[in-house]
Homo-oligomer: A and B are copies of this chain.
Amino acid sequence: MIASVAKALEILNLFSTAEPCLTLTTISKRLGMHKSTAHHLLNTLLQYGFIEQQADDSYALGKTIIALTQNILVNVELRDRAAPLLRELADTCNESVYLTVRDGDRVLYIYAIESSQRLLARTAVGDYAPLYCTAVGKAVLAFLPPAEVSRLYADRPDSLVAFTPHTLTNFRQLQDDLARSRSRGYTVDNQEHELNTFCVGAPIFDAHNAVIGACSISGLDTEIIDSRLEVLSGGVVYTAQQISRRMGYVPERMSMVRQNMAGK
A positions within 8 Å CB-CB of B:
1-2, 4-6, 8-10, 12-13, 15-17, 20-21, 40-41, 43-45, 47-48, 50, 52, 54, 60-63, 65-77, 79-81, 83-84, 87-88, 90-91, 101, 103, 108, 110-111, 113-116, 119-123, 125-128
Q: A61-B73, A69-B126 are in contact. Are A116 and B103 (CB under 8 A)?
A: no
Is the Cβ of B63 less than 8 Å from the Cβ of A65? no
- Alpha-carbon distance A50/B6, docked complex (angstroms): 11
Is the Cβ of A79 less than 8 Å from the Cβ of B5? no
Is the Cβ of A72 less than 8 Å from the Cβ of B84? no
Closest B residue to A77 using CB positions: B20
Closest B residue to A60 using CB positions: B73
- Alpha-carbon distance A43/B111, docked complex (angstroms): 28
**Which residues of the other chain, B, contact A48 by a CB distance below 8 angstroms?**
6, 9-10, 13
Closest B residue to A81 using CB positions: B121
Closest-CB distance, A138 to chain B (whole angstroms): 20
Closest-CB distance, A85 to chain B (whole angstroms): 9
**Which residues of the other chain, B, contact A21 by a CB distance below 8 angstroms?**
73
Is the Cβ of A66 less than 8 Å from the Cβ of B125? yes
Closest-CB distance, A83 to chain B (whole angstroms): 5
Closest-CB distance, A248 to chain B (whole angstroms): 13
Name which of A4, A40, A75, A127 has the most chain B CB atoms within 10 A of its CB.
A75
**Which residues of the other chain, B, contact A60 by a CB distance below 8 angstroms?**
72-73
Closest-CB distance, A31 to chain B (whole angstroms): 13
- Alpha-carbon distance A68/B68, docked complex (angstroms): 11
- Alpha-carbon distance A69/B241, docked complex (angstroms): 29
**Which residues of the other chain, B, contact A126 by a CB distance below 8 angstroms?**
66-70
Q: A5-B5, A116-B90 are in contact. Are A73 and B20 (CB under 8 A)?
A: yes
28 contacts between A and B (CB under 8 A): A2-B40, A4-B5, A5-B41, A5-B44, A5-B45, A6-B44, A6-B47, A9-B44, A9-B48, A9-B50, A15-B72, A16-B71, A20-B77, A61-B68, A63-B72, A63-B74, A63-B103, A63-B108, A65-B68, A65-B72, A67-B108, A67-B127, A67-B128, A83-B122, A84-B121, A87-B116, A87-B119, A90-B116
- Alpha-carbon distance A87/B91, docked complex (angstroms): 14
- Alpha-carbon distance A120/B83, docked complex (angstroms): 9
**Which residues of the other chain, B, contact A54 by a CB distance below 8 angstroms?**
73
Is the Cβ of B121 less than 8 Å from the Cβ of A2? no
**Which residues of the other chain, B, contact A65 by a CB distance below 8 angstroms?**
65, 68-69, 72
- Alpha-carbon distance A116/B15, docked complex (angstroms): 34
